[in-house]
Amino acid sequence: MASSDFMERHRVGEKAFTRDRKLPLPQLVRFLLNLRKGANQDELDRFFEVVCEQPLADSVSKSALTQARAKLRPEAFSELSDVLVNEAMRTLPMRRWHGFRLLAVDGSTFLLPKEPAIVEAFGQTGEVTPQARFSRLYDVLNRVIVAADIEPLSVGERILAGEYLPATRVDDLLLYDRGYPAFWLFASHAVEQRHFCVRVPRAFCTEVEAFAAGGARSAVIELTPCDEARRQCQAFGLPTEALRLRLIRVHLKSGEEEFLITSLLDEEAFPTPLFKHLYHLRWGIEEGYKTEKSRVEVENFSGRTVHALKQDVLAKILTLNLTAILVWVAQWMTTRLYQERRRGYQVNFANALSKMKDNVVRLLSLEPPPGLLERLLCAMALEVEAIRPDRSFPRNIKSTKPKRFHPNYKRCR
């Protein structure tokens, strides 16, 4: 991120970051990655205290920050995140499911500041607070966000899911919940030669209804498109031939049944009992959204422009990914430290995130403090919680007002 090539790709204007300032490009990136939740001036003061290694160090004004960040494209953080994730996949034996990298796709809505430029970009319904659709391609076994989108609510989740396929690989298996099934999306996977597993409603199509009415636990079917599905495929330039897929019946403890449709046809390689746990693993993306909203407060924006909003979100995603990879290494240490105990133990991810505050600034400096990475990994490895499998609790859905982060009422340290 200190290279001239990186600066050329991601600065706004040829003169950006050419003068000697207190917030050059590398410093600005490090500042934006520091999991900021407080007022900009307080965060700047804290940042320079860390950088200069002294209390009450000379800082810069929040106006200087506003001017500096306007010169940096938000896509810079996406590129850095891609480099980080790809390098981790190349060099580390990341967790897999039967040889597949397990990727879940899901979306969520996020509250936005009520500013004219943001309303114009994302839309607004009546007097309701403007919202954006966030979508993620998420590695559920390694807690890594592979791709992310911030779009208006008018952009459908299925469209965004289809756009993720070029970012996937042949050894990826994609998981979707029951809001995603569509023949054209299945056809897209077939064209790209990507495997998938999707929960489908009983009334999704006649083939699923016939399977649900029977008693089989698994069946290979020929899924034929209806007239509307054919029109959608033709609009996207996709083939309309019938697809050979597999239906799975899953029995829940409550007595209810769920139905999955998958491109994994081989019963011998992928026995039917595997799929209940496989689909349960999709819940990791829901936990990822909880981490984004509750732990790092991704809706707690530090600016009131579309530009600043996207910077904040993508910067926090990059820090989350860096934390996830450090936690992967720490978990390797934890497993060996506690291997003699009756229960398994896992690194407390929320605690690991807390340890990244300020330390991410130190880690990404040109000369990180000697031994910092080792001490950070050891600290993460020792903050653990017992793994208690098969626990479940009823969901207590309360009708409460969503949490808001008012720009004029930021937290103190």
pLDDT tens, residue by residue, 169-208: 999 999 999 999 999 999 999 999 999 999 999 999 999 9
* CB of 241 closer than 8 Å to CB of 190: no
For residue 404, the surrounding DSSP H or E stretch is: none
* CB of 66 closer than 8 Å to CB of 54: no
Residues 345, 346, 348, CA angle at the centre, nearest 5°? 130
- The pLDDT assigned to 398 comes to 62
Structure tokens given for 142: 């390694």
- The pLDDT assigned to 400 comes to 57
One-letter amino acid of 40: N
Side by side, the strands of the sheet bearing 243-251 are 144-151, 131-139, 101-111, 172-176, 195-200, 257-262, 243-251, 218-223
Cα–Cα distance, 224 to 240 (Å, whole number) = 8
pLDDT digits over 315-374, tens only?
Answer: 999 999 999 999 999 999 999 999 888 888 999 999 999 999 999 999 999 889 999 999
Instruction: Please indicate whether residue 187 or residue 53 has the higher confidence score (pLDDT).
Output: 187
Structure tokens given for 129: 């607070």
pLDDT digits over 7-48, tens only?
Answer: 899 989 888 888 888 889 999 999 999 999 999 999 999 999
Percent of the chain with pLDDT over 70: 95
pTM of the complete model: 0.93
* CB of 200 closer than 8 Å to CB of 181: yes
pLDDT of residue 97 exceeding 70: yes
- The pLDDT assigned to 57 comes to 83
Q: What is the DSSP string of 26-65?
A: HHHHHHHTS---B-HHHHHHHHHHHHHTSTT-----HHHH
Average pLDDT over residues 53-71: 90
pLDDT of residue 234 exceeding 90: yes
Torsion over CA: 24, 25, 29, 32 (sign): positive
pLDDT band at residue 409 using 50, 70 and 90 as cut-offs: low
**Mean model confidence pLDDT for the chain:** 92
- The pLDDT assigned to 194 comes to 97
pLDDT band at residue 290 using 50, 70 and 90 as cut-offs: very high
